[in-house]
Amino acid sequence: MKSVAVVGASGAVGDVMIRMLQERKFPVGAIKFLASERSTGKSVTFAGESFSIEPLSPRAFEGVDLVLSSTPASVSKQYSPIAARAGAVVVDNSSAFRMDPDVPLVVPEVNPHDVAKHKGIIANPNCSTIQMVVALKPLHDAFRVRRVVVSTYQSVSGAGQKGLYELQMQTLAYVTGQPSPEPVKFAHPIAFNCVPQIDEFLANGYTKEEMKMVNETRKIMGDDAIDVCPTCVRVPVLYSHSESILVETEGPITPEAAREAWSHAPGLVVVDDPQACQYPLPASAADRDEVFVGRIRQDLNRPNALLFWCVSDNLRKGAATNAVQIAEELLKLDPVGA
Ligand SMILES: NC(=O)c1ccc[n+]([C@@H]2O[C@H](COP(=O)([O-])OP(=O)(O)OC[C@H]3O[C@@H](n4cnc5c(N)ncnc54)[C@H](OP(=O)(O)O)[C@@H]3O)[C@@H](O)[C@H]2O)c1
């Protein structure tokens, strides 16, 4: 049994993390819930018991074996090393350590062995990257992926509780004929709109979110020769990110061969019956752990290219489920401590 701390327990990811620990029956001994002072005293129910959220502080990690952290990157940068020095293993959902060469970046369906290389911190990848690499890995193993052109349709819950609130309030104002609240979390109104900006722009014209997809894909797949060409878009959907993906492989690839590769893939479900209007949808993927793919079709001009549509719940597989799966991999390394 592990002594666990859930950091960022009041957040969108933290909330699902608490559910995932219970749903997956993670062997929890003691547990505590931490967030900022804004949430101190708020109550959380875990395994039928009520707990108060405590303020995050360096002393909060004493006696803790496993920290599941879902705070802004600046907070993680400060506290995750403190937790690791106190003897805990931190699974961190933020971007703080993802590209640190000393920190494994893990999607258990792709590179579970990297967990063993940790030095106290393991990073959970960006949500859009996680679902894409779960779909790409079987194709990479069978056909060697060389280039990926991806456009995302990312839900507002990807921007946390405040993102959800902003879409709900703007929608409410619209349907009740009230003036729309000013955008805070997003650069423009998100209700009834699409915003081709997630996070800040960099000097190269891409956003930070887009460059996360480029760099994290290479690190997780262990192949710096994979080119990723991303466009990340925020859409007025509450839960689940969708992605339109064009994948180019070294040799020829067909929809049938891709389906065959995907048929053995862990955590992936093919939903692809266009005549019956069956394909992955964010509304159907919400509250599910799998990555769903469909609309599988050959590139019209290239025998080594394939298009598909990929959907997954960003708070579950894109964050909390993946983090608890990493913790389960840790347990396999340390079964006695379990
Ligand atoms: N949302 C997603 O789909 C997703 C997916 C993958 C990764 N992530 C990453 O996961 C992290 C959390 O995201 P989220 O969507 O859950 O955001 P969120 O809903 O805004 O939650 C943020 C959490 O961090 C806590 N926090 C903020 N400042 C703090 C401080 N100074 N000290 C202690 N705790 C503090 C908040 O506590 P208070 O409520 O007390 O402020 C809250 O519990 C982010 O790094 C995000 O990039 C998110």
Domain ranges of the chain: 2-125+319-333, 129-313
Residues 6+ apart with CB under 8 A from 176: none
pLDDT of residue 85: 97
Give how far Cα 106 sits from Cα of 22, 53, 94, 218, 272, Å.
22, 28, 13, 12, 28
Topology classification of domain 129-313: Dihydrodipicolinate Reductase; domain 2 (3.30.360)
Phi-psi region of 286 (alpha: psi -120 to 50; beta: other; left: phi over 0): beta
* DSSP conformation class of 273: B
Residue-level pLDDT at 334: 81
- Candidate from 38, 71, 157 with most ligand 1 atoms within 8 A of CB, to mutate: 71
Residues 70/90, Cβ–Cβ less than 8 Å: no
Lookup: tokens for 43:
């109550």
Q: What is the pTM of this model?
A: 0.97
Residue nearest atom 33 of ligand 1, based on CA coordinates? 36
Q: Rounded to the nearest whole angstrom, what is the distance from the C-alpha of residue 162 to the centroid of ligand 1?
A: 10
CB 93 within 8 A of CB 323: yes
SS3 122: strand
**How long, in residues, is the chain?**
338
Give me the phi and psi of 228, to 5 degrees please. Answer: -120, 130
Rounded to whole angstroms, the Cα distance separating 15 from 126 reads 18
Q: pLDDT tens string for the chain (338 positions)? A: 789 999 999 999 999 999 999 999 999 999 999 999 999 999 999 999 999 999 999 999 999 999 999 999 999 999 999 999 999 999 999 999 999 999 999 999 999 999 999 999 999 999 999 999 999 999 999 999 999 999 999 999 999 999 999 999 999 999 999 999 999 999 999 999 999 999 999 999 999 999 999 999 999 999 999 999 999 999 999 999 999 999 999 999 999 999 999 999 999 999 999 999 999 999 999 999 999 999 999 999 999 999 999 999 999 999 999 999 999 999 999 865 54
Residue 67: the pLDDT is 98
CA 208 vs CA 61, 153, 234: distances in Å: 31, 16, 14
127 is catalytic: yes
CATH architecture of 2-125+319-333: 3-Layer(aba) Sandwich (3.40)
